[in-house]
Amino acid sequence: MDHVRVGLVGLGTVGTGVYKMLQENKDIITKKVGKEIRVEKILVRNKDKERDPEIPSELITFDPGDILENDDIDIVIEVMGSVELAMDYIKRALSAKKQVITANKDLIALHEEELSELAHLNGRDLYFEASVAGGIPIIGTLKEDLAGNKIRKIMGIINGTTNYILTKMTKEGKSYEEVLKDAVALGYAESDPTADVEGLDAARKIAILGTIAFDTKITFNDVYVEGITKITKDDIKYADELGYIVKLLGIGMNVDDKAEARVHPVFISKDHPLAAVNDVFNAIFVEGNAVGETMFYGRGAGELPTASAVIGDLMKATRDFINDTMGSSYRKIVKRKEIKDISEVDTAFYTRMKVKDIPGVFAKIATVFGDHGVSIALVRQQYRDDSGVAEIVLVTHKVQEKNVRDSLAAIEKLDVVEKVTSVIRVEEGKR
């Protein structure tokens, strides 16, 4: 065969981007892989939906078997989304000995291991670079270029919507609700923003990243998740005064052969490279025992950045197809890492509480922390209103999370304490 035959499953934003980029960059792609890569069939569901006029209508099919079980298709690209149906389609494609590329984060965050094993059994590869931060080639980098490193930490801004919201809150001093309304109006947030603002989207991505970085299995269900909906203007103001920025991070750690996987807002030092990543941009910070600290920055989503990731994978899959070295990307998990419960994780905390404005209050609070083994790094008690209520802002040293939770539960019961208003983890101290 003088060309490689691709079946595209799905023709939404990403599918259209993939098709267009394959045309626009055909010359360099053909030269680099040695053969032309040609889209032969495109599976769509909705017969009536208007399609980009650049897409030739003779490629369109409504029958999945036309691609998945078609002997004249070598490689399948799944960009339709959803979990169950895409799972079924990818299984069929692998069983029919196709190389498979997917951009499906929801699916990979749940079923990567099963699908990779099925690919392996069939002597084929499953590629999924586009499932995490399309414009950042992190999975290929972890699997290849940084493969000789033991990765201790992978941590990133991996959701554009929440980074946009936090950036606006920080730069314009607006409330979460105000900025969210603007973001929806501008199309930076969906009208139902739950998956983004509650951290679910980031949780899927950190599950995938942790799986690759630590060579183990972490699924979406293993990730501790907290979103940004409770972040207030005051928290952002205090963060600034203390030398921090508030960001929503996905964090994976690999310490003593136990893994951590969590998504939550953090105070991060202003001089950390992640602190300067603003608006809808994403960035992923990786710490390896040889490479040291490194960071990868780019667009997390969008038609063309995601197409870039799909096409990078497609070129790898094609090269293996042409050289008959398919199946070589498989990594068997030899040793599964236990995943720590959030209560066992070590972090520092920022907390803010309303207390009675009378002498001796702080001593009582400090005693509770001390009794729980929590040591205090910094305290401020300067902002008072005239209602007899004072505010205490406090940052702890790093300690097991359980101890902080127990302390705060006890502190909330003190009669001098009206309310603990904020609890946010401090991820990276000053550099």
> x/- contact string, 17-56, with a copy of itself (CB under 8 A)?
x---x--xx--xx-xx------------------------
Judge whether 166 is annotated as a binding position: no
Q: Which of 41, 91, 205, 247 is catalytic?
A: 205
Return the CA Rg of the chain. 24
Number of residues that bind a copy of itself (CB under 8 A): 55
Contact between 309 and a copy of itself by CB under 8 A: the answer reads yes
Interface segment toward a copy of itself; rule CB under 8 A; list 109-117, 199-207, 314-322, 399-407:
314-322
Do the beta carbons of residue 182 and residue 227 sit within 8 Å?
no
What's the number of CA atoms in the CB half-sphere (13 Å) around residue 270? 9
Q: Which is nearer to a copy of itself, 194 or 328 (CB)?
A: 328
Min separation Cβ 234 and a copy of itself, Å: 26
Letter string b/e over residues 269-299, b meaning 16 or more CB atoms within 10 A of that residue's CB? beebebbebbebbbbbbbbbeeeeeebbbbb
Strand 99-102 and strand 126-127: the pairing is parallel
Contact between 185 and a copy of itself by CB under 8 A: the answer reads no
Min separation Cβ 247 and a copy of itself, Å: 14
The one among 331, 336, 384, 430 contacting a copy of itself by CB under 8 A: 331
DSSP-derived letter for residue 335 is S
The one among 70, 288, 342, 365 contacting a copy of itself by CB under 8 A: 288
Which residues, 6 or more positions from 120, have their beta carbon under 8 angstroms from its beta carbon? 327, 330, 332
Judge whether 13 is annotated as a binding position: yes
CA separation for the pair 360, 352 (Å, rounded): 17
The one among 289, 343, 367, 375 contacting a copy of itself by CB under 8 A: 289
- Residue 20 burial class via C-beta count within 10 angstroms: exposed 0-12, middle 13-18, buried 19 and up: middle
CA separation for the pair 363, 356 (Å, rounded): 13
The one among 1, 334, 358, 363 contacting a copy of itself by CB under 8 A: 334
DSSP-derived letter for residue 143 is I
Q: Both tokens of residue 154?
A: 């992978």
Q: Which is nearer to a copy of itself, 228 or 307 (CB)?
A: 307
Judge whether 15 is annotated as a binding position: yes
Say whether 91 is catalytic. no
CA separation for the pair 91, 114 (Å, rounded): 10
Contact between 12 and a copy of itself by CB under 8 A: the answer reads no
Please list every residue from 198 through 237 that binds a copy of itself, using CB under 8 A.
215
Please list every residue from 254 through 283 that binds a copy of itself, using CB under 8 A.
273, 276-277
Q: What are phi and psi of 310, to 5 degrees?
A: -60, -45
> x/- contact string, 65-94, with a copy of itself (CB under 8 A)?
------------------------------
Contact between 343 and a copy of itself by CB under 8 A: the answer reads no
Judge whether 9 is annotated as a binding position: yes
Q: Which is nearer to a copy of itself, 25 or 95 (CB)?
A: 25
∠ CA 190-192-284, rounded to 5°: 55
Contact between 294 and a copy of itself by CB under 8 A: the answer reads yes
Please give the single-letter amino acid code of residue 46.
Answer: N
Strands (E), 340-388: 346-356, 376-380
Q: What are phi and psi of 424, to 5 degrees?
A: -135, 135
CA separation for the pair 360, 93 (Å, rounded): 69
Q: Which is nearer to a copy of itself, 215 or 391 (CB)?
A: 215
The one among 242, 304, 414, 423 contacting a copy of itself by CB under 8 A: 304
Min separation Cβ 38 and a copy of itself, Å: 15
Min separation Cβ 337 and a copy of itself, Å: 13
Judge whether 16 is annotated as a binding position: yes
C-alpha distances (whole Å) from 323 to each of 32, 143, 275, 317, 319 are 13, 20, 44, 10, 6
CA separation for the pair 105, 112 (Å, rounded): 10
Q: Both tokens of residue 351?
A: 């907390």
Residue at token pair 């498979």:
100
> x/- contact string, 121-140, with a copy of itself (CB under 8 A)?
--------x----xxxx--x
Catalytic residues: 205
Task: Tell me the binding residues for NADPH.
Answer: 105
Annotated binding site for NADP(+): 9-16
Residues that bind a copy of itself (CB under 8 A): 17, 21, 24-25, 28-29, 31-32, 129, 134-137, 140-141, 144-150, 215, 273, 276-277, 288-299, 302, 304-305, 307-309, 311-312, 314-316, 319, 323, 325, 328, 331, 334
Q: Which residues are annotated as a binding site?
A: 9-16, 105, 190
